[in-house]
Amino acid sequence: MTNPLLSVRDLRVEFATRRGPLVALDGVSLDIAAGEILGIVGESGAGKSLTGLAIIGLLDPPGHIAGGEIRLDGRRIDNLPAAEMRKLRGRRIGMIFQDPLTSLNPLLRIGDHLVETILAHSALTPKQARERAIALLSEVGIPAPEKRIDGYPHEFSGGMRQRVVIALALCGEPALVIADEPTTALDVSVQAQIIAVLKKLTRVHGAAVMLITHDMGVIAETADRVAVMYAGRIVEIGKVSEVVRAPLHPYARGLMAAIPTLEGRVARLAQIPGAMPRLSAIPRGCAFSPRCPEAFDRCRVERPPLLTVGDRSAACWLYDRGHAPAMTTEIVS
Amino acid sequence: MIAFIIRRLLASLGVLIAVGLIAFVMFRYVGDPVNQMVGIETPAAEREALRQQLGLNEPVIVQASRFLLNAARFDFGISYQFRQPVSVMIGARLPATLELAIVASILSLLAGVPLGVYSALRRDSALAKLFQALSLVGISLPTFLTGILLIYLFSVTLGWLPSFGRGAVVPIGSWWTTGLLTMSGLKSLIMPAITLALFQMTLIMRLVRAEMLEVLRADYIRFARARGLSERAVHFHHALKNTLVPVMTVVGLQLGSIVAFSIITETVFAWPGMGQLFLQSIQNVDIPIMAAYLLFIAFLFVIINLVVDLLYVIVDPRLRAAVHGASG
Ligand SMILES: Nc1ncnc2c1ncn2[C@@H]1O[C@H](COP(=O)(O)OP(=O)(O)O)[C@@H](O)[C@H]1O
Ligand code: SF4
Ligand SMILES: [Mg+2]
C-alpha cells in the first residue's frame, strides 16, 4: 500500500497499575488506504476498542500509548499536543461508538448536536448549519428531517439514533471513521440497514472506515481487508476474500468456521474451546498456544511475529519457512 | 403539565395535613394545654371554663379539624409563655431567619458549584486535592465550632465584625424587616451566613465533583470529544448541564435543611430568628410555638420539593415527555 491514509506501527498501549504496567496492545501494525474499509474482528477483550481509541487519541487514563507510532497522511499524530489532536478529531478522524442510546446527550435536541458540531468545523452561519444538518439527516435516511431535527434523543428508536450518530460523525467530513461495533447494541432487524447506511455514506463522503465488529458476516459483506485480533495483537491481516476463504492463523480458522449462516446469525464466533487469557496472564510464547490445536514446542517458548505469507500476514510459527527465528516481520503492503 | 402540577399539589397538601395532625397530637396530648396556661392556684371551675372556651371538651375529630383549619389561616393559638399570638411572634422572626438562610444558600451555591466543577475538571491538580481535603474538614467541623472560631477571630481578636445580633434593620412593608440595607446589618450577616453556608458549600462541592466525574465518563461525552468539540463545549455545554440535573434535588433539600440547621447558628450568634424562638419554646414546653415551627419546616420542604420537581420537568426532556404522555 503506497501512502496509506492511516499507518499504525508497533502500537503498544499500557495501563499503569499499582503492580506495574499492564500491556493491553502489543505490536499492533496496520494500514488503511483512503476510502478503504478495514474490518477488525476478535473476541471481546481482544483490544479492538483500545486500538480505535488510541488512534483517535481518546484513551482514558491510566491507559496510554507506550510505544510505536501512528501516522495520518504520513504525519505522526500519536505524540501531538492535546489541542492539536483535538483539531484532527471530527475533521480528519471520526469515531462512532457501540451504544447509540448513550452516545447522544439526553438533554440536547438532535439539531443542537448537529449544529454545534457543524459550527465547530466550518465557518457557516447557524442558519446554514441547520440547513446542512437537515441535509445530513435526510442523507442518513431520517424521514421528515426538518421536523425530527427538533426532537430529543429519547424520541428516536435505536436504529434512528445510530443514523443520527453517523450523521454527527460525518459533520466534519473526516477522512477516516472508526466505527466501534456500530450495530452490536441494535435490534437484529435494523443491523443490516445501519451497516448499509454507514457503507453508503462513507463512500459518498470519501471516508475510509475502520469497522470493529465481532460479526464475521458483516466483515465478509462489507470490508475490503480484515485484521483478526487476539489478546492485544493482530494475528492475521489481509484481504477479506483471502482471510475469510482460507484463513491461515489457527485462531482465524476457528473464527471462520464459526461464521454464522444467513439464516442463523445467532451463533457467536468464539467456537474455539477455552478462553482468551487475561492481560495479566498472557502466556509466554504464542498467546493462543493453550487453545491452539496445532501448537508445538516452539509456540510455548517464542512469540511469533507477523510473518508475510503471500499477500497477507499471520503471526504463527506454522508459516515460518525453515522454522528459523523469523527476520521478515514487514507488513504486507 | 397542568394535571401534573395539580397532582403534585394534592400530594403536597396530603403531606402538610399529615404533619398538621402530628402537630395537633403534640399540641393536644404533650402536657395539658390548660395546665400550661394557668397558674398552680387557679381554681378548678376557672380551669373548666377555659377548657370549655378552648374547645378541649369537644370530640377529637372536631378539635383536629379546627386545629388544621386554623393552621391553614396561620393561626396557631397563643404562646403559653409570651401570651402573644404565635403567628405574630413567628412573623416577627421570619425575616431574620429567611434572610440568613437565603444569603447562606446563595453563598453555598456560588462557591460550591464552581469549586465542584473545578475539582472535577482538574481533579489531579494540587488545588483540587487541597479543596477535597478542606471539604472533609468543612463537612466534619461542627457548626457551633465554626461560629465560635469566626467570632474569636473577627470579633474578639480583630474587632472587625459584630459577634451577635442582626444589626440595624429597616422595615419593608408592614411585616418584613431587612438587615440587608444597613451597614451594621450587612456586617452582622457575614459571619452567621458563612457559618451556615460552610457545611452546605462543602457538601455541594463534593456532590458536584462526584456527579461531574460520573458524567465525564458517559458515552455522550466521549462522543462529543470524538466529534472534535472544544473542551469548553464538552465541559460546560454537555457535562455541566447533566451534572446539575441530579444535583438539583439534593441541593434543594439542602437549602431546606439550611433553615433547619440555622437553629445552631442563630444560637451561636444570638441571631433573632425562628431557630432561637424554637429553642426557647422547647425549654419552656411552649407547644403552640413548637407545633407552628414544625408545620413551617414541613411547609418549606414541601414547597422546595414541588419546585425541584417542576424544575426537573423543565430541564429534562425525558421527564417532560413522560409528563405529557401521562397527562396530556
Ligand atoms: N481501564 C482499563 N484498565 C485495565 N484494563 C483495561 C481497561 N480498559 C480496557 N482494559 C482491557 O483491555 C483489553 C482490551 O479491551 P478492549 O479494547 O475494550 O477490547 P474489545 O476488543 O472488546 O474492544 C481488555 O482485556 C480489557 O480488560
Ligand atoms: S504459533 Fe503455534 S500456538 Fe500460535 S497459533 Fe501458530 S501454531 Fe498455534
Ligand atoms: Mg470493544
Number of residues that this document lists for chain A: 333
Residue closest to A24 by CA, chosen among A318, A284, A232: A232
On whether residue B102 sits in a domain, the answer given is yes
Q: How confident is the model at residue B259 (pLDDT cuts 50, 70, 90)?
A: confident
- Sheet of strand A37-41: strand arrangement: A93-96, A176-180, A208-212, A37-41, A225-230, A233-239, A312-314, A307-309
Q: How far is B122 from chain A (nearest CA, A)?
A: 14
Instruction: Say if CB B80 and CB B287 are below 8 A apart.
Output: yes
Q: Beta partners for A309?
A: A312
**Cα separations in angstroms, B137 against A109, B40, B123, B259, B294:** 41, 51, 18, 22, 31
Residue closest to A317 by CA, chosen among A328, A327, A303: A303
| B60 and B132 part of one domain | no
| B214 and B103 part of one domain | yes
Instruction: Say if CB A186 and CB A60 are below 8 A apart.
Output: no
Q: What is the pLDDT of residue A2?
A: 67
Q: What is the pLDDT of residue A271?
A: 63
Report chain A residues whose CB lies below 8 A from the CB of B224. 105
Show Cβ contacts of residue A8 under 8 Å, excluding neighbours closer than 6 positions: A28, A29, A30, A31, A51, A55, A68, A69, A70, A71
| B131 and B166 part of one domain | yes
3-state SS record for B63-93: HHHHHHHHHHCCCCCECCCCCCEHHHHHHHH
Q: How confident is the model at residue B308 (pLDDT cuts 50, 70, 90)?
A: confident
| B230 and B276 part of one domain | yes
| B115 and B246 part of one domain | yes
CB atoms within 10 A of CB B324: 13
Instruction: Say if CB B119 and CB B205 are below 8 A apart.
Output: yes
Question: Which residue of A117, A154, A155 is in closest CB contact with B227?
Answer: A117
On whether residue B62 sits in a domain, the answer given is yes
Q: What is the pLDDT of residue B114?
A: 94
Question: Is the pLDDT at A326 greater than 50, yes or no?
Answer: no
Q: What is the mean pLDDT of residues B255-271?
A: 85
Q: What is the pLDDT of residues B138-166, one digit of tens each?
A: 888 888 888 888 888 888 888 888 888 88
| B107 and B57 part of one domain | no
Residue closest to A186 by CA, chosen among A103, A309, A249: A103
Question: Is the pLDDT at A174 greater than 90, yes or no?
Answer: yes
| B41 and B96 part of one domain | no
- Closest ligand, as measured to the CA of A272: 2
| B110 and B179 part of one domain | yes
Question: Which residue of B222, B317, B321 is in closest CB contact with A58?
Answer: B222
Burial grade of B83 (CB within 10 A; 0-12, 13-18, 19 or more): exposed
| B65 and B103 part of one domain | no
Residue closest to B94 by CA, chosen among B255, B278, B253: B278
Tell me which of A3-17, A58-72, A105-119, B5-19 is least confident. B5-19
Phi, psi of B161 (to 5 degrees): -125, 145
Q: How confident is the model at residue B324 (pLDDT cuts 50, 70, 90)?
A: low
Q: How far apart are CA B321 and CA B314, in angstroms?
A: 10
| Ligand 2 nearest-atom number relative to CA A296 | 2
Q: What is the pLDDT of residue B126?
A: 93
Q: Beta partners for B29?
A: none
Q: How far is B211 from chain A (nearest CA, A)?
A: 15
Report chain A residues whose CB lies below 8 A from the CB of B223. 95-97, 103-104, 165, 168
Structural domain for B38, as ranges: 2-72
Residue closest to A172 by CA, chosen among A103, A118, A95: A118
Q: What is the pLDDT of residue B326?
A: 55
Residue B265 gets the label, from left (phi > 0), alpha (psi -120 to 50) or beta, of: alpha
**Cα separations in angstroms, B89 against A50, B78, B79, B83:** 67, 10, 9, 10
Q: Beta partners for A20?
A: A17
Q: Give me B295's grid cell.
A: 408545620
Q: How far apart are CA A242 and CA A30, in angstroms?
A: 17
Using CA positions, which residue lies closest to atom 7 of ligand 2? Answer: A295
Q: Give me B92's grid cell.
A: 416577627
Element (H, E) at B18: helix B2-29
Q: Beta partners for A211?
A: A39, A179
On whether residue B78 sits in a domain, the answer given is no
Burial grade of A253 (CB within 10 A; 0-12, 13-18, 19 or more): middle
| B163 and B275 part of one domain | yes
How do A37-41 and A233-239 pair as beta strands? unpaired
Share of chain B above pLDDT 90, in %: 20
Question: Is the pLDDT at A15 greater than 80, yes or no?
Answer: yes
Burial grade of A228 (CB within 10 A; 0-12, 13-18, 19 or more): buried
On whether residue B295 sits in a domain, the answer given is no
Mutate to test the interface with A, among B122, B214, B220, B242 (most CBs of A within 10 A): B220
Going from the Cα of A326 to the center of ligand 2, the distance in angstroms, rounded, reads 14
**Protein residues with C-beta less than 5 angstroms from the ion ligand 3:** A 49
| B27 and B169 part of one domain | no
Q: Beta partners for A21?
A: A16
Question: Is the pLDDT at B125 greater than 60, yes or no?
Answer: yes
Residue at which a domain ends, from B45, B72, B99: B72
CATH of the domain at B211: 1.10.3720.10
Q: How confident is the model at residue A120 (pLDDT cuts 50, 70, 90)?
A: very high
On whether residue B315 sits in a domain, the answer given is no
Q: What is the pLDDT of residues A280-311, one digit of tens each?
A: 888 889 999 999 988 999 999 999 999 999 88
Q: What is the pLDDT of residues A232-291, one digit of tens each?
A: 999 999 999 999 888 999 999 888 776 655 544 444 444 677 888 888 888 889 999 999
Q: What is the pLDDT of residue B150?
A: 87
Ligand 1 pocket member A279 (CB < 6 A): yes
Q: What is the pLDDT of residue A325?
A: 44
Instruction: Say if CB A64 and CB A13 are below 8 A apart.
Output: yes
On whether residue B310 sits in a domain, the answer given is no
Helices B143-150 & B240-268 angle (0-180, nearest 10): 70
| B63 and B109 part of one domain | no
Q: Ligand 2 pocket check: which of A235, A292, A296 to mutate, most ligand atoms within 8 Å of Cβ?
A: A292
Domains held by chain B: number: 2
Q: How far apart are CA A114 and CA B223, in angstroms?
A: 12
Q: What is the pLDDT of residues B267-296, one digit of tens each?
A: 888 888 888 888 888 888 888 888 888 888
Question: CA-based angle A208:A29:A59, to the nearest 5?
Answer: 75
Q: What is the mean pLDDT of residues B92-110?
A: 90
Going from the Cα of A133 to the center of ligand 3, the distance in angstroms, rounded, reads 29
Q: How far apart are CA B200 and CA B108, in angstroms?
A: 6
Show Cβ contacts of residue A165 under 8 Å, excluding neighbours closer than 6 positions: A96, A97, A100, A103, A104, A182, B223
Instruction: Say if CB B274 and CB B94 are below 8 A apart.
Output: yes
Number of residues that this document lists for chain B: 328
Share of chain A above pLDDT 70, in %: 92
Q: What is the pLDDT of residues B187-243, one digit of tens each?
A: 889 899 999 888 889 989 999 999 999 999 999 999 999 999 999 999 999 999 899
Q: What is the pLDDT of residue A9?
A: 94
Residue at which a domain ends, from B72, B103, B131: B72
Q: What is the mean pLDDT of chain A?
A: 88
Question: Which residue of A107, A165, A172 is in closest CB contact with B242?
Answer: A107
Question: Is the pLDDT at B37 greater than 80, yes or no?
Answer: no
Residue closest to A220 by CA, chosen among A239, A198, A193, A194: A239
On whether residue B288 sits in a domain, the answer given is no
Residue closest to A14 by CA, chosen among A58, A50, A41: A50
On whether residue B113 sits in a domain, the answer given is yes
Q: What is the pLDDT of residue A128?
A: 95
